[in-house]
Amino acid sequence: MLRIIIAFLISSLFSQNVENVFYDFSRHQGHTLKRGDLLWNEDWSSNGIFFDGTFSNFSSMYGPQIESNLFKSSLDSLEVDSIFTKSYFDYVQGDYFLDNLDLGINYIRMNRRIDLNAFKRRYAGLYNQYNNKSGLITPVQYTYIGRYSYEGVNDQLSVSLGNFNSDFGLFDSTNISFLDSRITSSNVKYNFSYDSLDIKVSYHNFLQRLDSFHSSSLNNGVVYLTRTKLSSSISLINSKNFMYGALINFNKRSLDIDNTKTYGWISFNVFLKNKKSQFYIGVNSYEDGQKLIASGESNFKHNSFNSKLNAGRSLKPTHISFTDTILFEQKDHFWIENSFILNKSKIGIDFAFYKINRNSTYMGLPKNGFNNWMFFYVNHYFSNDLFLHIGYSLVDNSDYVSDGIKNRLKIKVGNNFRLFSNAMSVHYSISLNGYLNRKNEYSLSPVEKFPFKTDQISELEDIWIPYFNLKCVVKNVEITYEMNNVLNIIYDSLGKSYNDNQIIFNQYYPSASRMASLSIKWSFLN
């Protein structure tokens, strides 16, 4: 059973092809890659909570519930006959005043469900860089999430509300740099099905108050971002289980600084679906005209071989902070995921291609460019619950916004066993992440999350980061000890400087040193 659980967790992690790159091991700041593509100025969601990606693009910042459910649209379907209450708390303490607390409760009564979550993170950093203006070591992040779900015979309703408060200092030459963000995201989804008819309606409202000061920012002071998105679709299912219909999205984004800038756009699609494939084609309409958009996805399975491919053309508005009129960036993409199981091994080969086109250049961004990404991985499971994971990725691009890392290598070894007459289960893993053939290219700014190109492109040293994880589970109690960047701990014992092992993924942030932490998670089921 343990082998099955671990195999599922590892396969799920790497099948999503999502990687969070951390600027510090508290997971407070960093950037996200999805199939080798840097996430910035793009909408994203987590368990039904919608985020406008103008100033917010890093899910780990908002706590484990948002991070673990990144790109998941909603919670699992309700079990109509279920009646239980599940609650938990997860407390983490570590180096440099790391102090995390994650609380949650899941209340299910028949076809109704209520989910509540609260998260707090305190972290000063190696250089005390996250300390706010007061000089006191206070929490840098507060997160509050509430969700109500109802599932009837023919309809489903979901209402969610998230509040995300961030207040921390920024590493800068001015010595007074800071970021204070207040986000409220409200979301309503309704689905009605009757016979062959299916209707879906969703409404998202995203509000952000951003107060900041940093030498890289063009909008120091208080700015207000407002985003609304209304989606509606209607579809019919024919006798051959094909679903066809139409989807329309209404979008409005406003930014209030000294004056107010407001953009609006509409996208309309017709689609055709079945259990294995789905195809969309439509137009994106805005004040200056219309542009074609399309996407298609298909799944293929034969014995132990699985393949999924996706291709399409999408549009996104340019960053509202730096343009006075609405402009769109066109992105063409193609990706394919292949995996097969051979004895006790799961082998995967993934590939993605992106091509970007901008009608006009702004803030030094390239007008045209492409990005190729390939990912190869092997998950092998030995006897006695021993497992080995090897993952390798390669990026080749030209005039494309990326983090400048050409090759990535990940090796992970772990095992699971039981002690004390099987009363305690023990899980441990040792991993090594390598970031190779790096170039000093683009960095996301700390405030606007806009990519700035480095003036002088140069080769950078490779980065190797070893990790150690030990988890003990007794009934519903989990105790975990983690050690991030073991090399710095070794350097400390040898009396060497932190400069001997620099870990910098963004020019606006200092080097990450190390992180040792102890966490206790206790779950209750009534």
pLDDT at 72 over 80: no
Q: What range defines the domain where residue 231 resides? A: 2-525
Averaged pLDDT, 385-389? 93
* Range among 219-223, 468-472, 503-507 with highest mean pLDDT value: 468-472
* pLDDT at residue 134, rounded to an integer: 67
Instruction: Name the phi and psi angles at 184, rounded to 5.
Output: -130, 125
Q: How far apart are CA 381 and CA 388, in angstroms?
A: 6
CATH of the domain at 256: 2.40.170.20
Residue 294's pLDDT band, with cuts at 50, 70 and 90, is very high
* pLDDT at residue 73, rounded to an integer: 66
SS3 168: strand
Residue 176's pLDDT band, with cuts at 50, 70 and 90, is confident
Q: Are 28 and 130 in contact (CB under 8 A)?
A: yes
pLDDT in tens, 265-274: 999 999 999 9
Residue 288's pLDDT band, with cuts at 50, 70 and 90, is confident
* pLDDT at residue 320, rounded to an integer: 92
Residue 499's pLDDT band, with cuts at 50, 70 and 90, is low
Percent of the chain with pLDDT over 90: 72
Residue 248, H or E segment:
strand 243-256
pTM of the predicted structure, to 2 decimals:
0.92
pLDDT at 238 over 90: no
Structure-token pair, residue 316 = 């996104």
Mean pLDDT, the chain, integer: 90
* pLDDT at residue 76, rounded to an integer: 54
pLDDT in tens, 25-50: 999 999 999 999 999 999 999 988 99
70: DSSP letter: B
Give the CA angle between residues 401, 208, 206 to the nearest 5°.
90
Give the CA angle between residues 412, 24, 470 to the nearest 5°.
40
Instruction: Catalogue the E-assigned strands of 382-508.
Output: 387-398, 405-419, 424-439, 442-444, 451-453, 459-460, 463-474, 477-484
8 CB-near residues (< 8 Å, 6+ apart): none
Helix count (H) and strand count (E) of the chain?
Answer: 3, 30
pLDDT in tens, 9-22: 444 444 458 999 99
pLDDT at 456 over 80: no
Q: Are 270 and 295 in contact (CB under 8 A)?
A: no
Q: How far apart are CA 166 and CA 142, in angstroms?
A: 6
Ranking 165-169, 408-412, 488-492, 495-499 by mean pLDDT, the lowest is 495-499
* Residues β-bridged to residue 310: 297, 335
* pLDDT at residue 2, rounded to an integer: 40
Residue 8's pLDDT band, with cuts at 50, 70 and 90, is very low
pLDDT in tens, 299-352: 999 999 999 999 999 999 999 988 888 889 999 999 999 999 998 899 999 999
Q: Are 503 and 512 in contact (CB under 8 A)?
A: yes
* pLDDT at residue 421, rounded to an integer: 87
* pLDDT at residue 77, rounded to an integer: 54
* pLDDT at residue 15, rounded to an integer: 46
pLDDT in tens, 469-495: 999 999 999 999 999 998 877 777 776
Say how many domains are in the chain.
1
Q: How far apart are CA 373 and CA 335, in angstroms?
A: 9
* pLDDT at residue 325, rounded to an integer: 81
* Residues β-bridged to residue 274: none
23: DSSP letter: S
* pLDDT at residue 84, rounded to an integer: 84
Taking every pair of Cα atoms in the chain, the longest distance, rounded to a whole number of angstroms, is: 73
The residue with tokens 């299912």 is: 237
Residue 7's pLDDT band, with cuts at 50, 70 and 90, is very low
* pLDDT at residue 6, rounded to an integer: 40
